[in-house]
């Protein structure tokens, strides 16, 4: 999240964040950098290493004057989900505490506070010369009594989620510290649902993905009970039974703008469409965004705004068509774009409470004359017939279904992070797994993607061009239109038979790529894993010129690496943000003897709570890699 003139569309929530307790912000000398090379740290060997989130990587910086210097990296924890750093209405709470629509703390059936263990998307922002952090909480994994939160009770399958805004101090050595922190109040936009990855916009704000997994299914679909449970959770837990949740309130890019000296404004960008958005990342033009669409039978979407740095002013949504040219090494394809619709924020906001799926489409679970078969969001075929005059509602409230209806490709599996390489006019898109809908299938409505299975996934490179047209021959008003995609060899996952520890993917290769962030100044693509194939997940640095792949962070066993971001110059220092979530959620293939050793070591070091649950499983960190000088 950065700072700029704030669009009038934002809803002011009047929060004040003091920064008087922060250490003073210090500005270090910034020298021009020619290149940065990261050493690759070893795979953790001991139980202590496996249970820790740490780095032994060294960054070798070559300056423009030809001199070099080594900078050892270290992982610094800013706060943990259980730390009492959070102030809401004058009361102290854990950082990951969840709240209802009146900002009262949510408690479970045992009377314990519900504290999320899933720190995710993060933006480190320079607001008025001072550092601020916005971080997501994605979902609740485990209750205080050790019960899986998804199985605790029928309405508890998901919880209303939140974000934190934290004012930070910055020392002369670049170390960051927590000054003041609060939870974002989302009552003005109906609350929050599964806040996943996120990052900064070109205009200095935070933009995060809100995944509407559970709220997506429609009456008659096999998984509609999941939608019913999700809406019940929002209605009864968030709104306390005083209001019925509307599924069209969730599943949008969510913007948080932090004000200098404290305060924030929040907006859900309805005009960018509804889906299971991992993240919507804007290119440097402030107009073109590509969305990571997380789930099976998902798509690839693009928003082109009418006005730079102001998506609410209006824009056009497009959906990608995969025209396969190879099935080797993760596949390759030419990309074309289907126009879905155009709208402003005000138009879709006004429509949001007036329509539902039944107003937009006629639906059938079997073939019916005049209906089109689609698979969008699940492996179940749903036949659709658009009702007259409902094109705009379909494009912005049923974005993926409408894309499938118009012939776009909805066969991707777990699309994740997105990031742009401006100098080379490329985009990188994380596909966590290549399986199910991405394989050749028979008896499906469309079979555009026909690839060999690779459960370890891939990071795709997309070439971007100006002067492109949509499938109807209309000009696309963007210089960042993807036209071709492929996978570089080092960015393809490598499944293996289980090794002695239970790793089922090569530990010297990326498995199940998730968060991605490209640094222009370092010419480096950073990649964080969300893998059930590695005992420990890693953050990697991939130099796009030398093609060197380096492991720069090992994340606590059982946890995924989240919140990846790169700030190249914050008052003379550079930072790589990275969080972990759900540590102790051991992978199924893990050696059982190793699991026992890790649990014993975790109990000895961190202890257990009153229910006997390992504190290790309840604690997760928000932090960053420290030690880098500013790069420019």
Tens of pLDDT along 215-250? 988 888 999 988 998 999 899 999 999 999 999 999
State how far Cα 576 lies from the chain centre: 16
pLDDT of residue 174: 96
User: What is the overall mean pLDDT for the chain?
Assistant: 93
Strands (E), 50-143: 58-63, 68-72, 74-80, 86-88, 91-93, 119-127, 130-137
Nearest to 192 by CA among 160, 170, 221: 160
CB 538 within 8 Å of CB 546: no
* pLDDT reported for residue 185: 98
Phi, psi dihedrals of residue 311, rounded to the nearest 5°: -60, -30
Euclidean distance between CA atoms 69 and 60, whole angstroms: 6
- Residue 155 pLDDT exceeds 60: no
Average pLDDT rounded to a whole number, residues 104-131: 95
- The whole-angstrom separation of Cα 237 and Cα 64 is 57
Q: Where does residue 292 rank: exposed (0-12), middle (13-18), buried (19+ CB within 10 A)?
A: buried
Q: What is the pLDDT of residue 154?
A: 45
Tell me what the mean pLDDT of segment 580-602 comes to.
97
**Residue 473 burial (10 A CB sphere; 0-12, 13-18, 19+):** exposed
Q: Kindly report the pTM of this predicted structure.
A: 0.94
Q: Measuring CA to CA, which residue among 571, 564, 631 is closest to residue 171?
A: 571
134, pLDDT greater than 90: yes
Q: pLDDT of 383-441, one tens digit each?
A: 999 999 999 999 999 999 999 999 999 999 999 999 999 999 999 999 999 999 999 99
Q: Beta 11-12 vs 264-268: how paired, if at all?
A: antiparallel
Tokens of 463: 């070439």
| Cβ-count burial 4-27 (b if 16+ within 10 Å, e if not) | bebbebbeebebebebeebeebee
* pLDDT (mean) for 256-283: 95
Is residue 119's pLDDT more than 80? yes
pLDDT tens per residue across span 192-207: 999 999 999 999 999 9
**Backbone phi and psi for residue 209, each to the nearest 5 degrees, phi listed first:** -90, 140
* Pairing mode, strands 415-421 and 426-431: antiparallel
Kindly list the strands in the beta sheet with 58-63, ordered across the sheet, starting from the edge strand earlier in the chain.
33-38, 58-63, 68-72
pLDDT in tens, 449-466: 999 999 999 999 999 999
Determine how many CB atoms are found less than 10 A away from the CB of residue 245: 22
Q: What is the pLDDT of residues 55-73, one digit of tens each?
A: 999 999 999 999 999 999 9
Q: How far apart are CA 95 and CA 181, in angstroms?
A: 8
pLDDT of residue 590: 97
Q: Is 365 helix (H, G, I), strand (E, B) or coil?
A: coil
> Over 50: is that where the pLDDT of 3 sits?
no
Q: Is 612 exposed, middle or buried (0-12, 13-18, 19+ CB in 10 A)?
A: exposed
What separation, in Å, do the N-terminal and C-terminal C-alpha atoms of the chain show?
20
- SS3 string of 246-277? CHHHCCCCEEEEECCCCCEEEEECHHHCCCEE
Residue 53 region by backbone torsions, left for phi larger than 0, else alpha for psi between -120 and 50, else beta:
beta
């Amino acid at each position: 999240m950065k700072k700029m003139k704030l669009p009038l569309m934002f809803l002011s929530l009047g929060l004040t964040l003091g920064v008087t307790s922060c250490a003073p912000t210090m500005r270090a000398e910034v020298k021009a950098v020619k290149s940065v090379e990261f050493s690759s740290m070893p795979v953790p060997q001991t139980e202590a290493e496996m249970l820790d989130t740490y780095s032994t990587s060294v960054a070798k910086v070559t300056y423009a004057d030809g001199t070099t210097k080594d900078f050892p990296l270290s992982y610094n924890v800013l706060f943990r989900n259980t730390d009492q750093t959070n102030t809401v209405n004058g009361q102290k709470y854990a950082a990951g505490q969840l709240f209802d629509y009146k900002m009262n703390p949510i408690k479970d059936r045992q009377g314990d506070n519900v504290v999320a263990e899933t720190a995710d998307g993060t933006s480190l922002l320079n607001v008025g010369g001072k550092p601020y952090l916005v971080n997501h909480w994605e979902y609740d994994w485990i209750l205080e009594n050790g019960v899986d939160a998804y199985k605790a009770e029928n309405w508890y399958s998901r919880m209303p989620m939140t974000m934190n805004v934290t004012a930070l101090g910055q020392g002369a050595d670049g170390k960051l510290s927590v000054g003041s922190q609060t939870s974002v109040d989302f009552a003005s936009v109906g609350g929050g649902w599964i806040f996943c990855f996120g990052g900064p916009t070109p205009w200095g704000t935070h933009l995060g993905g809100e995944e509407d997994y559970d709220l997506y299914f429609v009456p008659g679909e096999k998984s509609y009970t999941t939608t019913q449970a999700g809406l019940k959770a929002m209605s009864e837990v968030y709104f306390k039974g005083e209001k019925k949740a509307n599924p069209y309130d969730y599943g949008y890019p969510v913007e948080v703008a932090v004000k200098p000296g404290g305060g924030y404004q929040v907006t859900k960008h309805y005009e960018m469409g509804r889906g299971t958005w991992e993240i919507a990342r804007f290119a440097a033009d402030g107009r073109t965004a590509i969305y990571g669409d997380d789930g099976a039978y998902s798509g690839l979407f693009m928003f082109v705004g009418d006005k730079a740095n102001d998506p609410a002013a209006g824009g056009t949504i497009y959906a990608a068509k995969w025209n396969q040219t190879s099935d080797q090494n993760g596949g390759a394809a030419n990309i074309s774009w289907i126009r879905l619709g155009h709208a402003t924020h005000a138009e879709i906001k006004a429509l949001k409470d007036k329509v539902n799926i039944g107003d937009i489409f006629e639906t059938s679970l079997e073939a019916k004359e005049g209906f089109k078969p689609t698979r969008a969001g699940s492996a179940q075929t749903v036949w659709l017939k658009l009702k007259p005059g409902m094109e705009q509602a379909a494009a912005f409230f049923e974005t993926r279904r409408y894309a499938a209806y118009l012939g776009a490709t909805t066969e991707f599996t777990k699309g994740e992070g997105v990031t742009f390489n401006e100098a080379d006019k490329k985009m990188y898109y994380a596909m966590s797994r290549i399986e199910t809908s991405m394989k050749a299938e028979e008896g499906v409505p469309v079979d555009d993607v026909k690839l060999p299975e690779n459960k370890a996934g891939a990071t795709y490179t997309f070439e971007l061009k100006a002067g492109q047209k949509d499938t109807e021959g209309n000009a696309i008003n963007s210089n960042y239109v993807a036209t071709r995609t492929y996978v570089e060899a080092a960015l393809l996952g490598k499944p293996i038979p289980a090794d002695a520890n239970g790793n089922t993917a090569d530990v010297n290769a990326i498995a199940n790529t998730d968060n991605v962030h490209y640094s222009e100044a370092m010419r480096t693509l950073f990649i964080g894993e969300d893998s059930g194939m590695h005992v420990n997940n890693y953050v990697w640095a991939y130099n796009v010129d030398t093609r060197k792949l380096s492991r720069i962070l090992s994340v606590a066993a059982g946890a995924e690496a989240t919140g990846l971001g790169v700030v190249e110059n914050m008052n003379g220092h550079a930072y790589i943000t990275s969080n972990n979530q759900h540590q102790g959620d051991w992978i199924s293939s893990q050696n059982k003897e190793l699991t026992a050793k890790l649990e014993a070591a975790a109990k000895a070091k961190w202890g257990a709570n009153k229910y006997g649950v390992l504190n290790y499983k309840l604690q997760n960190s928000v932090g960053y890699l420290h030690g880098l000088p500013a790069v420019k």
